[in-house]
Amino acid sequence: MMRKIVISIVTLACCMLCAAQEINCKVTVNSEKIEGTNKQSFELLQKSIEDYMNTTKWTNMTFADMERIECSMLIVVGSVEDNEYRCEMTLQTRRPVYGTSYMTPVLNLRDKYFNFVYQDFDRLDFQQSTFTTNLTAMLAYYCYLIIGCDLATYSRMGGQGCFEACESIVQTCQSASMTEAEQQAWLAYDRSSGNKNRYTIISNLQDAAFKPFREYVYEYHRLGLDQMAANVANGRARIAEGMNVLVKANTARPATYIVSLFLDAKADELADIFKGGTEKEKQDVYEALMRIDPTKQNTYERINEKQN
């Protein structure tokens, strides 16, 4: 009996440990642009980043294994010199839609200044409010952003604690000692990244002026997508109703980065949703999207395609 109790306790502890982490991220480091370099270094880097993101407990919340946030990170190495990596990073995250097997994209962003200093077997160790390395800081920032944006789709104004953690990391990195290349994308504005950087993302999310946008993110997912399994028309109508929020945000501050990121993730999905909508929905949504982001006209044109 005692043996069974001990086994049960150990099993429960293991289950709790497995459930503690919030993220399930597939990391790929692409080094095709680098010639004549030991590829093992990039394999070690890839494993180190993936382990760091997936085994660190980022919040005090408990996630069951099936609840972990699905995401992928592609790091394309442009150059390596004296252990300084200059890279571009693409991050994509998704979450399930209630009552379906469909995974909706939540984030689809590209960081063109994912630069860091790294040596083989460097320990990735992040401490909140304390700068260790730029790589750990960037990864922590994106992990909190992933979790925060996911929570924002499930509850109104959700993810606030994670966004505050992102803001704290930005503030710490702005005054930290790092190379000029590493400093890119942390500042309020720099000549390279302009206003499309890590600072701007969290600044937008924390700006009271964008509270309606954050509320719409919740409504889009919980009151729109998650309702479509039961009633497609009602869910679609709820998404259409909120499009004016995006228009107003873009009108107040044209080319707002957080709105652009939302449409980078949702453009194809919106086209697929509304090509089956009413004529009024099609017209209203198409006009709204073209006002906000005409660069995706080819995608939005699918809304007006004739249905068989």
Q: Which of 96, 97, 101 is nearest to 224 (CA)?
A: 97
DSSP string, 160-192: HHHHHHHHHHHHHHHTS---HHHHTTTSS-BTT
Residue 242 DSSP class: T
Q: Would you state the torsion angle of the CA atoms of residues 46, 51, 54, 60, taken in this order, to the nearest 10 degrees? A: -140
As a whole number, the mean pLDDT across the chain is 89
- What is the DSSP secondary structure assignment for residue 51, as one 8-state letter? H
Residue with tokens 């710490």: 172
**Token pair listed for 47:** 């494993």
Determine what percent of the chain is predicted with pLDDT higher than 70: 92
Return the domain boundaries, the chain: 22-206, 211-304
Q: How far apart are CA 140 and CA 126, in angstroms?
A: 7
Summarize pLDDT for 3-35 with one digit per residue, the tens: 333 333 333 333 334 445 899 999 999 999 998
Q: Report the candidate in 205, 104, 102, 199 with the shortest Cα–Cα distance to residue 152.
A: 205
**In which residue ranges of the chain is pLDDT below 50?**
1-19
Give 12-18 contacts, CB < 8 A, sequence gap 24+. 16/62, 18/65
- The pTM of this model reads 0.91
113-156 confidence digits (pLDDT tens)? 999 999 998 889 888 778 899 999 999 999 999 999 999 999 99
Other Cβ atoms closer than 10 A to 131 = 16
